[in-house]
Each structure stands twice: as structure tokens, then as C-alpha cells.
Amino acid sequence: MTDAQLLLGQTLAFDADPFATPPEAAATWRRRGGVVVREGRIVAVGEADDLRRAHPRAQIHDHGEALISAGFVDAHVHYPQTAIIASWGKQLIDWLNSYTFPEEMRFGDARFAAETAARYLDLVLACGTTTVASFCTVHPESVDAFFSEARARGLRALAGKTCMDRNAPEGLLDSAQSAYDDSRRLLEKWHGKDRLSYVITPRFAPTSTPEQLEALGALWAEHPECPMQTHLSEQLPEIDWVRRLFPEARDYLDSYERFGLLGENALYGHAIHLTGRERARLREVGAALIHCPTSNSFIGSGLFDMAGLTAEGQRIGLATDTGGGSSFSMLRTMAAAYEIGQLRGSALHPAQLWWLATQGSARALRLEGCIGNLAPGMEADLVILDLASTPAIAQRAARAESFWEQLFPTIMMGDERAVRAVWVNGAPLVRGG
Ligand code: GUN
Ligand code: ZN
């Protein structure tokens, strides 16, 4: 058995859902805590002194006043959009046609795909994100590239080939049959290898024919162990378009459900403009809604109803939605979620924001038993954060009278300068490597 590693610092762990219990009671913060890691897993979390006594041979990594947390979990991204992040002036459909689709055309080139996947993963690791669920492009090469680069870094990662057989440029279209065949082959190749999960991925209802949605629904029925990810009710013109394309469907959600694309392992990005029926059905099934706040303001989509949806007991994750989202950082994403909450009249507590970016997103991905928290048995994906990383943050944190007040300036103003170290699968990443 290899020697244990003992990380010391402030620690933050969750014992409960801070939307279902008083937020501060849902978390355990230790001013001088520790995390013991051995063979890729967390084996103990507790007071620093107790852990030092219990693990006298452990190699010590003393992070002083810095905060040790579970690594961030980003539940909805498009890694192929890395190079078109922050593209100006368009709303959803025009943004897809002007920026996204031309960029995605390049991913038939395996070398280009590998280079982008590597750059993307290094960018998010620098932000403290240790798991992402990514859309790829229509090209199988884009999936192989992403999983190969994630595997080379020891990451837990989820991804799938984005299927489209209408309403996109010719070079990005597959067919109902090839979407099924390619997805199945990629699923068999990658799902469950090391820390990788394949996600069945129809892009969204407007870019799939009913035949393609049906084929992917059939694949999901054959592989219910895989998640299914897509987009739902992001912008009003998109919802009108779905109504015209699927006149028989009761609503947007029904354009998926009719084809077997609704289930407890479903991940719906955005989910802003939902009807009462859709909300009730999503709740009944236990599907996950993925909130993408920087994207929703950047593309002009609308204000996600976090307070209402959490009060109903919906399963909710948090995500950057890179490159519709304007940041790779889950700190910036938490800040945007706070701002959207404020615009709807409710202030999310820092414990709720942090939980969404870690355990909440892990729960949305149904990986809460593996990642997203500091607890014995969890995989050791960690981020260590300096809570005084810039002069502006430091001077505000110095006034704090509680841990949450100390944490909040890093949530609102922090970026990758706050990230002191990142551990993946029980080992520290070498900075810049
Ligand atoms: N809806 C369908 N495709 C996309 C995408 O790539 N980004 C966003 N934000 N919404 C989408
Ligand atoms: Zn998306």
C-alpha cells in the first residue's frame, strides 16, 4: 500500500443539500482541517491535529490558510467552442449559425480536435474544474480526441457525439442511422473505460428529425446506464421553432419524451422558459436541469428560476456552457448564478452556490457518490484556493466575520489566480504541465 498524503488547510464539505436544509447547517467548515488521500481516494476528512496523529507517516501538504474543496464539476460544456468563446452580438440561432457551426466544421480533423481538447482541458483545470460533461461535434474524431485527452490527464469526464440531421450546414449533418451507429460504437469504445462516461447527445430538437430522435431514444433504451444530454427551452424564438417543427408535441419537453428521450438520467441544458406541465413532468421523472448563467446573460436567453425550481425539488446542476457561456471558470459561473438570482429577487447563499458547483452538479450527473465532495470513499479530485488572491479580494476578505463572508468575495471576484493547486485522482497536477 502506498503512503497516504495529508493535505492541510481550511476545508469545506457538505453533509446535506443546502436548498433542502438551512444552508450553513448543510456544510462542515474547518478552520484547520485536513484531507487524507490514498490510492486516488479520500480516506479521511477531519481536524488537522487529529489526522496528523492518526496518520503519522502521511506526507504532509500544508496549504496554510487556503481552502481545500472538492474540484468543481461543470455539468454542460461544448469543448469544440473553446476558440469562439466571447463572440459578439448574436442571440441563440444566429450565434449558432454565425460562429458555432463554422467552428464545429473543423473537428473532422483529428489533430485539430486533439489540440483543442488538450487546450480546453488545461484551461479548465487551471480554473479548478476536475470534471466536465461535454458536447463534442458530429465527428467521431471529436469524441476520440476528447476522451483521449481526458484519459491522459486521469480525469473523470463525460462526453458524446453531437447528433444533427437537419437545420445545420451539410458538413455537420449525420443521419438517423449513422447517428445511432456512430454513437453506439463510441459508447462501446469509451463508456466505463477508466473514469470516462459516454453521453448520448442529440444537440436539440430543432436539429434532429423525428427519425433521429427515435433512433437515439432506442439507443438510450438499450443503454440506460448512460446519461443523455441535450438542450431545453433556452430562448423564446427557439421554443416557437420547436412548436412549428413538432406540431404534435404538447411542449418542448414532449418533443423529447415522445421519442424516449426523457428519463432520470437525462441532462437538460438551460431549462429557462418551462411550462407548468414541463416542470411537473421533470420533477416526476427526476431528470436534471443544468443552469448555465453566464451563457443565459451573454446570449440573452433569460433568467433561470433557481428559487422556484429548487423549492419544487428539481435536480439542478451548474455549468459554464462554454462557449455560449463567457467563462471557463466555475467561480465566475457561481457569481453569474448569484446575479441572476438577484434579478429574480432571491439571493443564493454562498453554501448553495458552492454546493451547485460541486456536489449539486455531481448529483445532476448521478456521480454524487464518486465526486463533488470531501468525504471518505470519494475520488480525490480537489481544488485548493487562496481566498485572498488579489488585492481587491484580500481587502474585502480581511473584513469578514464568518467563513461564508470570507468565501463570498472569491466567488464574486475570483478567477484562476485563486487556484493554488489542483489534485486529480489522488495526485497533484504540476503547474503548467
Ligand atoms: N442549443 C443548441 N446548441 C447549442 C449550443 O451549442 N449552445 C447553446 N448555448 N445552446 C444551444
Ligand atoms: Zn449547450
Q: Is any ligand 1 atom within 6 A of the Cβ of residue 206?
A: no
Q: Which of 364, 383, 408 is the last residue of a domain?
A: 364
Q: Is any ligand 1 atom within 6 A of the Cβ of residue 103?
A: no
Domain range for 398 is 4-71+373-431
Q: How many Å lie between the centroid of ligand 1 and the Cα of residue 137?
A: 12
pLDDT string in tens for the chain (433-residue length): 668 999 999 999 999 999 999 999 999 999 999 999 999 999 999 999 999 999 999 999 999 999 999 999 999 999 999 999 999 999 999 999 999 999 999 999 999 999 999 999 999 999 999 999 999 999 999 999 999 999 999 999 999 999 999 999 999 999 999 999 999 999 999 999 999 999 999 999 999 999 999 999 999 999 999 999 999 999 999 999 999 999 999 999 999 999 999 999 999 999 999 999 999 999 999 999 999 999 999 999 999 999 999 999 999 999 999 999 999 999 999 999 999 999 999 999 999 999 999 999 999 999 999 999 999 999 999 999 999 999 999 999 999 999 999 999 999 999 999 999 999 999 999 764 3
Q: Is any ligand 1 atom within 6 A of the Cβ of residue 204?
A: yes
Count of domains for the chain: 2
Q: How many Å lie between the centroid of ligand 1 and the Cα of residue 92?
A: 7
Q: What is the pLDDT of residue 430?
A: 73
Q: Which atom of ligand 1 is nearest to the CA of 323?
A: 7
Q: How many Å lie between the centroid of ligand 2 and the Cα of residue 138?
A: 14
Exposure string over 327-340, b if 16+ CB within 10 A, otherwise e: bbbbbbbbbbbbeb
Looking at the structure, do residues 45 and 13 belong to the same domain, yes or no? yes
Q: Which atom of ligand 1 is nearest to the CA of 301?
A: 9
Looking at the structure, do residues 23 and 116 belong to the same domain, yes or no? no
From the CA of 99, which ligand is nearest?
Answer: 1
Q: Which of 332, 364, 396 is the last residue of a domain?
A: 364
Looking at the structure, do residues 84 and 182 belong to the same domain, yes or no? yes
Q: Ligand 1 pocket test: pick from 96, 241, 252 the residue with the most ligand atoms within 8 Å of its Cβ.
A: 96
The number of angstroms, rounded, from the C-alpha of 263 to the middle of its chain's C-alpha atoms is: 19
Q: Which of 316, 338, 364 is the last residue of a domain?
A: 364
Q: Is any ligand 1 atom within 6 A of the Cβ of residue 231?
A: yes
From the CA of 233, which ligand is nearest?
Answer: 1
Looking at the structure, do residues 402 and 319 belong to the same domain, yes or no? no
CATH number of the domain bearing residue 299: 3.20.20.140
Q: Is any ligand 1 atom within 6 A of the Cβ of residue 252?
A: no
Looking at the structure, do residues 282 and 425 belong to the same domain, yes or no? no
Q: Indicate whether this model's pTM tops 0.95.
A: yes
From the CA of 76, which ligand is nearest?
Answer: 2
Q: Is any ligand 1 atom within 6 A of the Cβ of residue 174?
A: no
Q: Is any ligand 1 atom within 6 A of the Cβ of residue 76?
A: no
Nearest CA to ligand 1 atom 9: 324
From the CA of 319, which ligand is nearest?
Answer: 2
Q: Is any ligand 1 atom within 6 A of the Cβ of residue 100?
A: yes
Q: How many Å lie between the centroid of ligand 2 and the Cα of residue 406?
A: 32
Q: What is the pLDDT of residue 433?
A: 38
From the CA of 100, which ligand is nearest?
Answer: 1
Q: How many Å lie between the centroid of ligand 1 and the Cα of residue 113?
A: 19
Q: How many Å lie between the centroid of ligand 1 and the Cα of residue 231?
A: 7
Looking at the structure, do residues 67 and 102 belong to the same domain, yes or no? no
CATH number of the domain bearing residue 49: 2.30.40.10
Q: How many Å lie between the centroid of ligand 2 and the Cα of residue 399?
A: 38
Looking at the structure, do residues 191 and 271 belong to the same domain, yes or no? yes
Q: Ligand 1 pocket test: pick from 204, 239, 320, 326 the residue with the most ligand atoms within 8 Å of its Cβ.
A: 204
Q: Which residues contact 333 (CB under 8 A, 6 or more apart)?
A: 74, 292, 293, 294, 318, 319, 320, 325, 327, 357
Q: Which atom of ligand 1 is nearest to the CA of 78?
A: 6
Looking at the structure, do residues 158 and 265 belong to the same domain, yes or no? yes
Looking at the structure, do residues 27 and 13 belong to the same domain, yes or no? yes
Q: How many Å lie between the centroid of ligand 2 and the Cα of residue 239?
A: 15
Looking at the structure, do residues 116 and 62 belong to the same domain, yes or no? no
Q: Is any ligand 1 atom within 6 A of the Cβ of residue 116?
A: no
Looking at the structure, do residues 192 and 89 belong to the same domain, yes or no? yes
Looking at the structure, do residues 61 and 79 belong to the same domain, yes or no? no
